[in-house]
C-alpha cells in the first residue's frame, strides 16, 4: 500500500510502522515549509526554530532542549501548544510534560514520536498531563512493542489504569483487523514519584526531582490531598538542564535545584497581561460573584506562578548560564516577548529567551 506524504513523495504505508523492536527506522518526515512556517523561521532564526529546519535527526550527539508547547494553562491558543518540552540526549528522547497535542508537536519539531521512551510529568494539572496516554496509544497503534514509561506525581499510576480502559475499544478494533501481538498493558508503564530526590537514571541522564511551590490547597482539602508538583534537574555528560515546572515564589527550592545549570527552562506569568486577559474574558464584573472569581484567579496567578522579576532573581541566585522562558500566562496570541523578558533582565545578566513552539536550545 502506498500513500503520499505532504510534500508529495510516495511513501510505503509500512514505513509508518516499526521494522523492529527498537523502532530504528525513522519515520518519513515532512520537511517542506509552508509560507507561514517560513515566516516563523525568519522571525525566530536566532534561536533555531525547528519548524523551519531541515529535519535534523534526533541522533545528533550531545544534549538538546526543544520547547514543543509553550502555552501556560488550559486556554488553547493559535500560536502556542499546550505545555511540553523534549530533552534529546545522544538521540534518546525524554519528554517533560505532555499537554494536548504533544505527538504532533514532536513531529513538527522533527522528532520521532515513536521513539519517546521516558516521560516525566511535573504535576497533574491537565495542561501538563492530558496527552501522555494518547502519545503511548499512538505509539502502540503504529506498532510499538517495547515499553514506554511515564514518571509523575501520585495519581499517575491510577491515570494509566483509566487510560487503558479508555483505550480498550481501540485495541479491540485494531486487533480485529491487524496483527497486534503485544497488548498495551505490556507496553504502557507508569511510576508514581513518591518524593524528592533521584527519580530516574540511565546511561544518558540522571533526573532529580524537587518539590516546587505551585499548589497552595485551601485548608479544607490540604489535609488529605497527596498531590505534589515538581521541578526536574536533568544531568547529562555535557549539560545540566532544569525544568521549573509550574511554580510560584519558592524560597530557595528552585535556586537549589537549578544551581549552576546550563539552561533553566522556567515558567513565567505577566500579571498585567493576566489581568487584562481576565477582564476581557470576564467582562461582566458588575456582579460581586464575578468580581470574587476574578480576585480568586488573580490570587492564584500571584501565588502559584512566577513573575518575570521572580524568574530573574532565581536565575541570578542559582548562577545559571541561560534562561529559557516557557509556559506563558496568559500567553495570548501576538503578545510581545518583552512583556516577559524585560523583567527577568532586571536581575539576570545572562541570555534570556522567550521560547516559542518548536525552538531548539
Catalog residues that contact Zn ion under the rule CB under 5 A.
Answer: 125, 127, 246
Min dist CB 73 to Zn ion, Å, is 5
Separation of alpha carbons 211 and 44, rounded Å:
33
Ramachandran category for residue 347: left, alpha or beta (phi over 0 → left; psi -120 to 50 → alpha): alpha
Q: Which residues partner with 231 through β-bridges?
A: 210
Closest contact distance (angstroms) between CB of 301 and Zn ion is 11
Nine-digit cell at 180? 497486534
**Least Cβ distance, residue 135 to Zn ion (angstroms):** 18
Task: Tell me if 64 sits within 8 A of 323, measured CB to CB.
Answer: no
How many H-runs (helices) and E-runs (strands) does the chain carry?
Answer: 11, 16
Q: What is the dihedral of CA 222, 224, 227, 229, to 10 degrees?
A: 40
Pick between residue 112 and residue 131 the one whose CB is nearest to Zn ion.
131
Kindly tell me which of 58 and 84 has the beta carbon lying closer to Zn ion. Answer: 84
3-state helix, strand, coil in the chain (%, to 5): 35, 25, 45
Q: What is the closest distance, in whole angstroms, from the C-beta atom of residue 125 to Zn ion in the complex? A: 3
Output the smallest distance, CB 4 to Zn ion, in A.
Answer: 38
Cβ proximity to Zn ion, 131 vs 246, nearer residue: 246
From the CB of 14, what's the least distance to Zn ion, in Å? Answer: 39
Name which of 184 and 330 has its Cβ closer to Zn ion. 330
Neighbours of 253 (CB within 10 A): 18
Instruction: Round to whole Å and give the CA distance between 50 and 23.
Output: 22
Task: Report the residue number, 188 or 328, with the smaller CB distance to Zn ion.
Answer: 328
CB of 100 or CB of 134, closer to Zn ion: 100
Q: What is the dihedral of CA 34, 36, 37, 41, to 10 degrees?
A: 130
Amino acid at each position: 500500500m502506498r500513500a503520499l506524504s505532504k510534500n508529495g513523495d510516495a511513501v510505503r504505508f509500512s514505513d509508518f510502522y516499526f521494522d523492529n523492536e527498537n523502532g530504528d527506522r525513522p519515520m518519513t518526515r515532512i520537511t517542506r515549509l509552508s509560507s507561514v512556517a517560513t515566516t516563523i523561521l525568519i522571525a525566530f532564526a536566532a534561536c533555531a526554530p525547528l519548524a523551519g529546519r531541515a529535519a535534523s535527526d534526533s541522533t545528533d550527539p550531545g544534549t538538546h532542549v526543544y520547547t514543543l508547547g509553550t502555552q501556560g494553562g488550559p486556554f488553547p491558543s493559535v500560536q502556542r501548544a499546550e505545555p511540553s518540552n523534549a530533552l534529546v540526549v545522544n538521540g534518546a528522547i525524554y519528554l517533560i510534560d505532555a499537554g494536548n497535542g504533544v505527538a504532533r508537536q514532536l513531529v513538527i519539531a522533527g522528532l520521532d514520536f515513536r521513539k519517546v521512551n521516558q516521560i516525566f510529568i511535573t504535576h497533574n494539572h491537565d495542561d501538563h498531563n492530558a496527552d501522555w496516554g494518547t502519545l503511548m496509544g499512538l505509539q502502540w497503534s503504529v506498532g510499538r512493542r517495547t515499553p514506554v514509561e511515564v514518571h509523575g506525581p501520585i495519581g499517575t499510576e491510577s491515570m494509566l489504569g483509566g487510560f487503558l480502559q479508555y483505550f480498550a475499544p481501540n485495541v479491540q478494533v485494531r486487533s480485529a483487523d491487524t496483527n497486534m501481538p503485544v497488548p498495551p498493558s505490556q507496553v504502557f508503564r507508569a511510576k508514581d514519584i513518591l518524593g524528592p530526590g533521584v527519580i530516574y537514571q540511565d546511561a544518558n541522564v540522571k533526573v532529580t526531582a524537587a518539590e516546587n511551590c505551585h499548589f497552595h490547597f485551601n485548608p479544607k482539602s490540604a489535609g488529605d490531598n497527596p498531590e505534589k508538583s515538581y521541578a526536574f534537574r536533568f544531568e547529562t555528560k555535557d549539560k545540566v538542564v532544569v525544568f521549573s515546572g509550574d511554580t510560584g515564589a519558592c524560597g530557595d527550592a528552585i535556586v537549589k535545584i537549578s544551581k549552576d545549570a546550563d539552561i533553566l527552562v522556567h515558567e513565567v506569568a505577566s500579571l498585567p497581561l493576566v489581568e487584562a486577559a481576565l477582564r476581557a474574558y470576564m467582562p461582566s464584573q458588575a456582579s460581586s460573584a464575578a468580581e470574587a472569581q476574578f480576585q480568586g484567579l488573580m490570587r492564584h496567578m500571584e501565588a502559584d506562578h512566577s513573575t518575570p522579576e521572580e524568574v530573574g532573581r532565581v536565575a541570578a541566585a542559582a548562577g545559571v548560564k541561560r534562561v529559557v522562558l516557557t509556559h506563558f500566562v496568559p500567553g495570548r496570541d501576538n503578545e510581545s516577548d518583552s512583556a516577559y523578558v524585560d523583567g527577568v533582565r532586571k536581575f539576570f545578566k545572562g541570555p534570556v529567551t522567550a521560547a516559542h513552539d518548536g525552538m531548539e536550545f
